A and B are shown apart, each in its own frame.
Chain A
Amino acid sequence: MSVAPGFYLVLAGLMFAIGVVGVLVRRNAIVIFMFVELMLNAVNLIFVTFARQQGTVDGQVLVFFVLVVAAAEVVVGLGIISLIFRYRVSSNVDEINLLKR
């Protein structure tokens, strides 16, 4: 007997929640980014789980797309971070509060 999809979903949910907390709690922009990746991974797990449940590969295709988007995001995001770092010599998001001023 295989493991019920529910367990995978529980795992995905927990990981997603951890990702959210990480984004909120951590201050290093790069680290925050990694938590975002974690959340994306959790979602990927959900997709795969549902794909199995439905008996199709559509969910897996979606994972594929998420991966592409994540790659693009990482590329641009890290570019921005390194740019900010060049100007501010910090990757602490708390110091990027120009909105306030």
Chain B
Amino acid sequence: MNDLVLAAEGASADHTALAPLIIALPLASAFFLMLFGKRIDRLAGVIASGAIGGAFLASIITFGSVVAAGHEAAESHRFFDWITVGDFSVGFDLLVDQLSAVMLLVVTGVGTLIHVYSIGYMHGDARYSRFFAYLNLFVAFMLILVLAENLLLLFVGWEGVGLCSYLLIGFWFEKPSAADAAKKAFIVNRVGDFSFLLGIFLLVATVGSLSMVAINAEAGAMSAGVATAIALLLFGGATGKSAQIPLYVWLPDAMAGPTPVSALIHAATMVTAGVYMVARLSPVFEASGEVALLVVGVVGAATALWAAVMASFEYDIKKVLAYSTISQLGYMFLAQGAHAYSAGIFHLVTHAFFKALMFLGAGAVMHALAGEVDMRKMGGLRKAMPITGTTFLMGCLAISGIIPFAGFFSKDALLAAAWADGRYVLWAVGVLTAFLTAFYMFRLYFRVFEGPLKVPEGVHVHDVPPTMAAALIPLGILSVVGGVINLPGVLTLEHFLEPVVGEAQVPEGAIAWVLGGLAFVAGALGIALARAVYLSRASSLRRRKAYSRAPGLVDAARDKFYIDRIYGYGIVAPGKALSSYLANVFDPRYVDGIVTGTGRLVARASENLRGIQTGYVRNYALVFLSGAVVILVIQLVRVGL
């Protein structure tokens, strides 16, 4: 392991130089705002955005030096020891390579835009500076996660972003739903982290180190069984953070937080941590034979489809986007399950663009409609909000996989990878999901932005203020052209990432065109269906008809297929009952009972014996005398009466 690190250090000198600065900028800003935020008030947004912007600039420089270093760009550096006991040692080790460089750009880039957007969005909030402090803190932790050279430091970032997510979801904690959602998010993530932690232990026991470089170097030497166990345990953590089945339930609820938070944390960055982690440790997943990867792929595909179905029945615009995020994350895992790690990262990047865009667009709508989220109460907003409507449309087209928007290329890349790997069923699920994705996105778009103007009463609709537009427009452009970073044939991103995640299989020749065409057709069909059901003249009739065919199914879907209730009755309620029994009956009555019972036994015995104690002095004297007499008699007998 040391050799590898040394080799990496020898290759080039200084791209880790800026790494601590990248983390420190938002972190320092966060602490500053937490301590003095109240005094500077309005300035908080500017400071926070500036800090992230600085981190973004530093990231660009780092990225540049990584690009310049070419293939052997990986470099790590230990800044200080963290936990060292016995032969176990981890430190504050940062790693900069192609993968982390890409992630740096995404996190700080999208982060900067969203910070700028928040200046307008959060304007007038009572805890304005606090919001930016949390947001900065989040970015700092996310950067730690991305730059970590060892799994434990990654875990610091992993839990840290979870904490910030908790704080930001619960930002408006006066709303019980927000407080509930925050708690739920943290706890569900903890369940995932529990699995992740077990994976870390197994890794320490197997490899003896948590260094990424060492783990990946030794992954080949692991037995398939151990590698599978490690991979699955780590993936268990990813299902929590990246909201996959069965731990996805927290993400829709998390929409109770402010919308920029949903965009930054629950679409662009934090939820992709699982995808990043799998890519980062791809050799371990590869070493497991096919088992772990198959699980990853199947869970990803199942989640993609499942969440897409849910999204199709949801009326809350933010929740539609939340389910969409879950579904898209499923896509990424689907690709990774087919060895296509770089395709997963590619989709991660493009998804960050268009999903952040759509969340921010949804935020703009809510901003304009006084917080209204129910799409049934909206309509025809594109004319009133041209910037929002247009950029939102870009996002919808991108996610639906329409040529030449960003989503087409990334979605095509991962579906092709699934096909190339021989996972035809998963590919089919992916195509079906692509169809559904287009359907529900345009269902949302048509209902909200097209058709006759419909707004809640007493609301004056206005388009976004400049700071918010400043975030929407760049993201809109990126959604359109984001695909160029990985054009088929040129495959820049995949080549760039090869030193880290290995070479992906790509279908060759005509089949590639056929697959791409099919994905495009699926998307187009979805849009057409959405138009037929939601925008055309007979739309309401068709909807009623569809409902009458399978009312039960629709109702079930609208109730999230009872998943929350099943979790509630199956896990939460028994747990509560058990705890309550232990706390109110078992502990006081039995455990404490044994102890106080001993005491009570003594007390009762004393109570009975107390009868002897009459309180009359003469009685005591009598007893005293009898004792004396007994002694006398004994003495006499002993002397020999």
Contact = CB atoms under 8 A, between A and B. Distances in A.
Direct contact of A and B (CB under 8 A): yes
Nearest to B615: A100
Contacts of A93: 616-618
A97 B621 contact: no
A18 B615 CA distance: 24
A96 interface: yes
A94 B625 contact: no
A20 interface: yes
Interface residues of B, number: 9
A97 B615 contact: yes
B618 A99 contact: no
Contacts of B622: 24
B614 interface: yes
Contacts of A27: 618
A101 interface: yes
B613 interface: yes
B62 to A, nearest CB: 85
A101 B615 contact: yes
A98 interface: yes
Contacts of A99: 613, 615
Nearest to B614: A100
Contacts of B614: 97, 100
Nearest to A101: B615
B613 A24 contact: no
Interface string A15-57: 0000010011001000000000000000000000000000000
Interface in B567-624: 613-618, 621-622
A100 B617 contact: no
B426 to A, nearest CB: 86
Contacts of A98: 615
A99 to B, nearest CB: 5
Given A20-B625, A24-B625, A94 B613 contact: no
B146 to A, nearest CB: 77
A24 B618 contact: yes
A96 B614 CA distance: 11
B615 A24 contact: no
Q: How large is the interface on A (under 10, 10 to 19, 20 to 34, 35 or more residues)?
A: 10 to 19
Contacts of B616: 93-94, 97, 100
A101 B615 CA distance: 8
A100 B611 CA distance: 10
Contacts of B615: 97-101
B41 to A, nearest CB: 70
Nearest to A99: B615
Contacts of B621: 23-24
Contacts of B617: 93, 96-97
A8 B377 CA distance: 122
Interface in B154-203: none
A93 to B, nearest CB: 5
A99 B614 CA distance: 8
A93 B621 CA distance: 12
Contacts of A96: 617
B621 to A, nearest CB: 6
A26 to B, nearest CB: 8
Nearest to A100: B615
Interface string A71-101: 0000000000000000000000110111111
Nearest to B628: A20
B317 to A, nearest CB: 77
A78 to B, nearest CB: 17
Nearest to B620: A99
Contacts of A101: 615
Nearest to A97: B615
B212 to A, nearest CB: 78
Contacts of B618: 23-24, 27, 93-94
Nearest to A27: B618
Contacts of B625: 20, 24
A27 to B, nearest CB: 7
Nearest to B622: A24
A20 B622 CA distance: 9
Contacts of A24: 618, 621-622, 625
Nearest to A93: B617
Interface string B406-425: 00000000000000000000
A98 B613 CA distance: 11
B497 to A, nearest CB: 89
A24 B623 CA distance: 10
A96 B618 CA distance: 10
A96 B616 CA distance: 7
A101 B614 CA distance: 10
9 contacts: A20-B625, A23-B618, A24-B618, A24-B621, A94-B616, A97-B614, A97-B616, A99-B615, A100-B615
Interface of B: 613-618, 621-622, 625
Interface of A: 20, 23-24, 27, 93-94, 96-101
The 6 closest A-B pairs by CB, nearest first: A100-B615, A97-B615, A99-B615, A93-B617, A24-B622, A94-B616
Given A96-B617, A99-B613, 19 more contacts: A20-B625, A23-B621, A24-B618, A24-B621, A24-B622, A24-B625, A93-B617, A93-B618, A94-B618, A97-B614, A97-B615, A97-B616, A97-B617, A98-B615, A99-B615, A100-B613, A100-B614, A100-B615, A101-B615
